[in-house]
Amino acid sequence: MGKIAFLFAGQGAQAVGMSRDICEQSPAARRVRDLADEETLRVWLGGTAEELTRTINTQPCVFLAELACAEALTEAGVAPQAVAGFSLGELAAAAYAGILPYDRAFALTQERARLMQRCAEENPGAMLAALRIAPDALAEAVAAVPDAWRVNFNSPEQTVVAARETSVAALEREIAARGGKTVRLAVGGAFHSPLMAAATRGLAAYLADEPINEPRIPVYTNLTAEPYADIRAELAAQASSPVLWQKTIENMRRDGFDTFIEVGPGRVLSGLVQKIDKSLKTASVRDAATLEQTIKQINEQIAE
């Protein structure tokens, strides 16, 4: 078999209690859970869905849930040769690769959540998945609307757009007029757009004082779709820059990766990988049952 990569998802698939049973059965996952402060733990494992959808809560909770899954899988003997994370997931991927100790990476995630929540409150916006529309037509639709941007290049079939709240209805109309369809995402702002510029500045200032380690395995960054070249700058810039997800998976395939394991809630990234290249193998670990399934799948691949 080729090489294995772990994928860490962003906001959108979160659920109260995510990864709970993995933390109950895995000592490695429990060590991640124990990083949580009292309020994060309450929202993550026992809060309301409404509380969990607030950016300031979502990001720390998803970060810990993903790392818990990754550590449980590693504890079971499945380790990757590289990692990538989508949006927020890039922080979990970077932490897993050793760029920051987990407690410092968790603090960074809380700071990112705070900064992006503030940007979202000061500049309300939304993100929409644009479907069934050609790239050129989508570019035309976005160009016709003020304060709208293409931000997440997910697969040949899906691009996500972001817009200021006052521009969302016009953007939906422009896309529909060109035969496309939009689905509003369960996120709290126009992430990865210029409306998050203040968050990037805040993250750059925060990271300037953080000791950064070289990653023990490559981390493919959203900004360039290549392994990190300038960790501080790329981690800060990704909050207000597009996510080049399709290109990331294509570059990892180029570099010999053929098995992608999504760790954390949902199966969004697994689905995108299949849309990018159906020949690639995917798996996901989000609870105890899928952990067991994935371990079995990887062992069978190794035995082939």
Instruction: Supply the residues annotated as catalytic.
Output: 87, 192
Q: CA 62 to CA 109: how far, in whole Å?
A: 10
- Residue 256's region, left for phi above 0, alpha for psi from -120 to 50, else beta, is left
Q: CA 198 to CA 218: how far, in whole Å?
A: 28
Contacts of 2 (CB under 8 A, 6+ apart): 256, 257, 258, 259
- Strand partners of residue 183: 129
DSSP 166: G
Question: Which three-class secondary structure string do you get for 39-98?
Answer: HHHHHHHHCCHHHHCCHHHHHHHHHHHHHHHHHHHHHCCCCCCEEEECCCHHHHHHHHCC
Asked whether the beta carbons of 236 and 204 are under 8 A apart, the reply is: yes
Question: Could you write out the DSSP letters of every residue in 167-229?
Answer: GHHHHHHHHHHTT-EEEE-S-SS-TTSGGGHHHHHHHHHHHHTS--PPPSS-EE-TTTSSB-S
Q: CA 72 to CA 276: how far, in whole Å?
A: 28
